[in-house]
Structure 1
Amino acid sequence: MARKSPTIPAASNATEKDILFFDDAPEFMDGREAAEEMENVDARVKEAQEQLLRLRQQQEEIERQKKHLEELRQKQERFGQGKRDLIEKLTRSTSTLDRELYDAQKLVEELSIARDSFNHHLEIIKGIQPEKWHRSQVDEELDGALAAIEDAEDEFAKSTRRIQSVRQTEASKTEASDANEDEEEGSQHSLSTTTGTDDFPSWFRRGLAFNIPLVAGLIVLLILARLMF
């Protein structure tokens, strides 16, 4: 009986060793690993870029919040300062207006009294008519007429002094108020609503200019009447 050749398995093994598997080749193994490594690098770069974008967005949001908070702080500061300033100004101005209103009411009262008194004496003086006097009553009529003129002059002088006193008091308070406002704020206009202090003296000077000729003419008429009768 013939034996099988023992060299057949050896030949098979030699054949398997001679076969080249491309997947197992070292050069191909290095290329695949390099590709995988590049993919990993790309993924990490992409992730880093996305993270950087998120950080930038967060930074922008923080900057917006910071700007908003700064604007809010400035508004609160302006509000607080404006509130304090207005409370101080309005309180001071209210007190000033109260004083000026009182002085104005007092001045109006004095002016009203003076006007009524002047009209009363004016009617009396206009009513004096020497040509209608009876000869026997000339002395009495002249005495009464002179008394009426003296009363009118006295009342005119008293009313003038009273009104001038009120005006001077009002002007002094206004000047003091203006001085305080200038000292505290530097350049603030006066809240006074009254007219200048020169208006009333000018008004009285014009009144005197109009009334003196009338009074002088009346006195001349009285003297002529005395001489005539």
Structure 2
Amino acid sequence: METQYEELATEDSILDSSSEDEEEEIEKELADVTFEELQKARSNGAHAFFQKPKEDKKLKRANKNRPMEASSKKPVSAFREAIQAPKKVVRDPRFESLCGTLDPEGFRKRYNFLYENDLPAERQALKKELKKYKDPKRISEIEEHISWIDKQMKSDSRKNIDTQILARHKKKEREAAKEGKRPFYIKKSEIRKQRLFEKYNNLKSSGKLEAFVEKRRRRNAAKDHRYMPYRRSGDVE
């Protein structure tokens, strides 16, 4: 019997101490709460400020090799992809190693008919068509297309001359290498000089050199005249 009384006494003392601790905690919490919040809580009958905030439960894995546990209570996003399609990979055949490397000489031989026959014929047809139309919009479109054809033909002729210059240089260097000489790699500036020299010789042989020089002189004069300062009307001589 005495032991039972002692156990009950110890339990009562534990309860009293725990209740005292709880009261102290409540007093501490109330000390931080403002008077307005206390009044509002009393009028609403709420006691939310006495409750401790819930801590987010961090999900752990049972084993490092297992996947992370996910809560089933979280809503699934409306934009989630049920079946994830493979990512599209855009490939440019011009830069694919499977398509081989560009052969400029072979390309020039295969598509020579475009620059020798098709483009000049199309240009001539557009020139005739230009005389039929009076609509300024249509005339502008035809003139732009003719200008594009001229640029393509001019670029092709320049590339063709550069290819011929490189071919002659390579042939010359192969012969020099057979004699034991060191190879000389031609620069772009040297190719440009040789191209201009060939153009000069072609114009001279065809008798168009003087007309070309006169045209270039007028163009340069117009360019210089555009940047010259004009005299204002109020200036005194």
TM-score tier by shorter-chain length is under 0.3
Bigger Rg over Cα: 1
Tell me which protein shows more helix as a share of its residues: 1
- TM-score, scaled relative to structure 2: 0.21
Could you state the TM-score of these two structures normalised by the residue count of structure 1? 0.22
